[in-house]
Each structure stands twice: as C-alpha cells, then as structure tokens.
Structure 1
Amino acid sequence: MAQGLTLAQVAESTGLSKGFLSRLERDETSPSVATLVQLCQVLSLPVGALFAEPEIQKVSRTEAPRINLGGVHVEEHLMSPRGESRVQLLRSSLEPGAHGGHELYTVNCDVEVLHVISGAVSVRFADRVVELEAGDALTFPGREPHTWNAEGDSPAEVVWVLVPAPWSGSA
C-alpha cells in the first residue's frame, strides 16, 4: 500500500497467487526464504528490513537537554530524541508570569498541541485568547501567529507537541 501497489500487481510481479499473498498479510501462512527475497525485490526493500527491530529511544526527564526557544521565565527540555524529525516533544516549566513574548510568533510546523499538566495558561492569537487549565489541550496550526502566558500566581507545567519537528536539536 505504501508504494501504491495493489495485491494483484504484487501477485503478477512475483508470480505468487493473490490468495497466498492475502494469507501472508494476515499471518496465516509462512513464506519460504526464496519467497521473502522475491517479495523484497518487487517491493524494493532490503531483506534485512523485515527483521530489523523498531528504533526505540528513551529520553528521561532528568537527562533531557535543556533548550531555550525564546520564552521568558521558562525552563524547557527537549523530550524527544534530538534527531527525530517527525515529531518534537517539549516539556516546559513556567514560573508565574512566564510568557512566550509580547509579540505574536509562528512555528515552522503543521500542527502544535499544547497540553497543560498543571497550572493555567492562555494562548493569544490575532483575533482571540484561549484559556487553558490543568488537563486541557489546545491544537492549532503552528504557522498561526500566537503567543502564550502563564496565568495566576502558581507555576505551570506544560507539554508542547510539534509536528513535524521544526528544530533539529543539533544547536
């Protein structure tokens, strides 16, 4: 499917039956090594890709790199791996009065999600302000001009999810 091929096209290219390929997809039969090699050739996949373990990376909060994306009175940590380009996860500890700057800004990503873990935060857009409390989440286009403020006299903890990752983490 990822390559835009139908089951019939793969069957024709490999000489295998559609029924066999369907059973293989549903894990109802086991192919021979020769059949796996043949399928990999048709799908332009290295045979080793079938046996590779998924890449799993842990980032502990205590060892997460501290970053500075321009917020005032905020401590930010990169919680996703530095080289991850598909998504970026930031954990921010906001002091009372913390803010993202007085001017609206944009982030070079398709989607931003702000999840408030504790405290209260407001997000200001050109035409409105959205108030968030602990447990709330807000999803919006990253290219939408915005800024944020920690509300009240208590600190706040928030998580930002940015898709795709706008910052490589290499700096």
Structure 2
Amino acid sequence: MKIGEKIRRLRVKNSLTQEELANRCELTKGFISQLERDLTSPSIATLMDILEGLGTNLRDFFNEIEEEKIVFVKDDVFVTENEDYKYTLNWLIPNAQKNQMEPILLELEPEGSSKEDYPHEGEEFGYVLSGIISIQIGNEKHKAKKGESFYFKPHANHFIKNIGKTKAKILWVSTPPSF
C-alpha cells in the first residue's frame, strides 16, 4: 500500500492544501510533500495525527476499499479453450470469482457445448450474440438464437450446446461465479 498516495487522495478529497494539513498536524509542508510522494514514512503517532486532521482514523484508513477498476480492456480478458467440448471461454472481468456475478463470453463451435454444471444457488443469464443454441436444464431443452436471451435458476444440471452450423457466441453471466 502506498500510504503517501492515499493520504494525498484524502487531503484533496477534503479540499485541503499541503500547508493546511501540515498546520492542522503541527508538521511542515515539506514533510507532507515528502510523505505524499512516499519519500518518507511517518511514525504511528504522526500518522494518527495526520489521519485525525483528515477526519479519519487508522482502522478506517487501512480498511478503506481501494478504488475498483471500472473499465476492462481486451488485454484484461483471460481465454481458455477446450478442444473436446469445442468451446472457447473468455473471462471478461479478471478475478470475477470474488464478485457476485461472473460474465463470460462463450464461443461454441458447431456441435460444441459447455461442460455440464450441477445445481447451485444463484441465477444464470445469457444473451446470444450469434448462432443458435440449446439450453439444457435437467430434462428440459430450450432453443435460443441471435438476439434472444435466457434466464433461469440452476435447480438442475445444465449446459449449453451449439445446434447450428456456424459458431455461436453467448454473453453468459452466472451468479454466484461458477466458471
């Protein structure tokens, strides 16, 4: 953790100059400047004084949730292929298993299918970007084509199969993450 950077963000958020923060804590502007650039480290007592001047405390400062990444680019995508099942899985959000939902882009070659998944808590949503698929839920089969979506509670074994003659692409979101 870069303490200085975090202190600077809090200072700016509180609309304080380095000099104003330094005065509140009986420190020098130079010390605050060096601290924010991680060129020096404060003692625990000094850090507590600074945090008090910023309206927070040690516990909240170190427990504060880091800003989460909002936009993900092509280089963030993790791809795996399975030749036996004839699919490519594109994990669109890195480490999505820590989140409440997990979006993937599933690409199925003709006759390809996802692996069968067991019943679990949560919900499944998909949007067919191209192709024609069959959604198997227990003994039930449901067909969906480009531009259509599906939504179900996974109370039985389930999988998706490409029943068309061209590649099928599905944006699939599972909650909780299960891929």
TM-score tier by shorter-chain length is: 0.5 to 0.7
Q: Secondary structure at the match of 2:77?
A: coil
What does 1:159-170 align with in structure 2 at a 5 Å threshold? Answer: 159-167=171-179
Question: In the superposition, relative to structure 1, how do residues 142 and 68 fare at CA in structure 2: closer, same or farther (>3 Å)?
Answer: farther
Question: In the superposition, relative to structure 1, how do residues 62 and 55 fare at CA in structure 2: closer, same or farther (>3 Å)?
Answer: closer
Unaligned runs of 5+ in 2: 1-50
Alignment partner, residue 95 of structure 1: 109
Asked if residue 75 in structure 1 is aligned to residue 64 in structure 2, the reply is no
Q: Which has the higher helix share?
A: 2
What does 1:46-57 align with in structure 2 at a 5 Å threshold? Answer: 46=60, 54-57=67-70
C-alpha RMSD over aligned residues:
3.4
Q: 2:73 aligns with which of 60, 64, 75?
A: 60
Alignment partner, residue 156 of structure 1: 168
- Normalised to the residue count of structure 1, the TM-score between the two structures is 0.59
More moved, 112-121 vs 79-88: 79-88
Asked if residue 118 in structure 1 is aligned to residue 130 in structure 2, the reply is yes
More moved, 66-75 vs 130-139: 66-75
| AA at the equivalent of 2:122 | D
Asked if residue 137 in structure 1 is aligned to residue 153 in structure 2, the reply is no
Displacement of 1:55 in angstroms is: 0.8
Question: In the superposition, relative to structure 1, how do residues 156 and 122 fare at CA in structure 2: closer, same or farther (>3 Å)?
Answer: same
Question: With CA pairs under 8 Å and 6+ residues apart, which has the higher RCO, 1 or 2?
Answer: 1
- Normalised to the residue count of structure 2, the TM-score between the two structures is 0.56
User: Which whole-Å CA distance do the structure 2 matches of 1:117 and 1:141 have between them?
Assistant: 21
| AA at the equivalent of 1:132 | A
Alignment partner, residue 21 of structure 1: none
CA offsets 1:50-108 (integer angstroms, 9 cap, x no match): 8x77311543335511135897111111111225522211111111111135xx53264
User: Which whole-Å CA distance do the structure 2 matches of 1:63 and 1:85 have between them?
Assistant: 16
User: Which whole-Å CA distance do the structure 1 matches of 2:95 and 2:119 have between them?
Assistant: 17
Larger Rg: 2
Q: Contact 2:96/2:102 (CA < 8 Å) preserved in 1?
A: no
**Count of residues in correspondence between the two structures:** 128
Q: Secondary structure at the match of 1:100?
A: coil
Overall identity of the aligned pairs, in %: 16
Question: In the superposition, relative to structure 1, how do residues 81 and 95 fare at CA in structure 2: closer, same or farther (>3 Å)?
Answer: same
| AA at the equivalent of 2:98 | S
User: Which whole-Å CA distance do the structure 2 matches of 1:135 and 1:71 have between them?
Assistant: 27
